[in-house]
Amino acid sequence: MGKEIVLILGGSGGMGLATAKILIEKGYKVIISGRTKGKLASISNQLGKDCTYVVLDASNNEDLNKTLSSYSKLDHIVVTISARANASGINNTSEENAKQAFQRFWISYNVLHFATEFLKRNGSVTLISGSSAKTPLKGYGVWGTLHGSLNGLVKQASIDIAPIRVNAISPGGIGINADRQLTEHRGMVEDIGQMVYAVISNLAVTSTIIDVDGGERIGTWNG
C-alpha cells in the first residue's frame, strides 16, 4: 500500500511548514499550497521527494475546487492558512477587517463542502482554531468569535460528511510570551505539527477540538 497523501493549505510557513516536515518524517507524502510559486518550489526541493507543491489562492472558491479536482482522492487535508487581518476587539474592528479575518472560516467551510468529492471515505480534514474561543480575552473579540465559529463548524461537519473525520486543533500563543500557563513550555509551531500527525493517524478521533496551549490563562507560569 502506498503512502497516504496530505494536502496542506498554507503549507509554506509557520504551522503549515512545521506540519509538512513532521508528516514527511512520519512517512506521508505531502502537497503544500500557497500563492508564491518561488517560495513553494524552494521549500518543496528542501523537503525532498515526498513533498510537492501547488500554487493556490484558497480564498478563490473556483481555484480551490479546480485544485482539489486535480487529485484523485486525497487521504487528508489540513487547513493552516493565516488570515493576516488587522483585527482585534469587536468594538474597534471594522466590518471590512472582520470579514478579512473570517476568510479563514470560509476557506475551511469550502474545503468541507467539497470534501466528499475529493477525500477518501476514511480520510480527514483538520482545521486550526485558537484558544481565544475557550478563554475570551478583551481585545481579541474578532479572533475569539472566529475560532468559536471554526469549532462549531467542526462539530456539525463531522456529522454531515461522516465517515470522513473532522477535527480542529486549538493552539495557544505561538512564539509570544507565555500567558498564565500550566506548563513551562512556550508554544511552538512544532507542537501543532505533532498534534496534526496524532489526529490524522488515529482513526477513532473525529468531531474533536484539541487544545494545544499548555493550559493557557488558567495557570501561573509567565516565562
Place of cell 474592528: 93
pLDDT digits (tens, 9 = 90+) for 161-219: 999 999 999 999 998 889 999 999 999 999 999 999 999 999 999 999 999 999 999 99
The DSSP 8-state label assigned to residue 76 in this structure reads E
Using a pLDDT cut of 70, give the percent of the chain over it.
Answer: 100
Q: What is the distance between the alpha carbons of residues 192 and 172, in angstroms, rounded to a whole number?
A: 10
Counting beta carbons within 10 angstroms of the beta carbon of residue 207, is it exposed (0 to 12), middle (13 to 18) or buried (19 or more)?
Answer: middle
Q: Which domains are present in the chain? A: 5-212 (3.40.50.720)
Provide the pLDDT for residue 1: 62
Residue type at 181 in one-letter notation: Q
C-alpha cell at 92: 474597534
Q: Which pLDDT tens digits describe the chain residue by residue (223 residues)?
A: 689 999 999 999 899 999 999 999 999 999 999 999 999 999 999 999 999 999 999 999 999 999 998 988 899 999 999 878 999 999 999 999 999 999 999 999 999 999 999 999 999 999 999 999 998 889 999 999 999 999 999 999 999 999 999 999 999 999 888 999 999 999 999 999 999 999 999 999 999 999 999 999 999 999 8
On whether the CB atoms of residues 54 and 39 are closer than 8 A, the answer is no
The model's pTM is 0.96
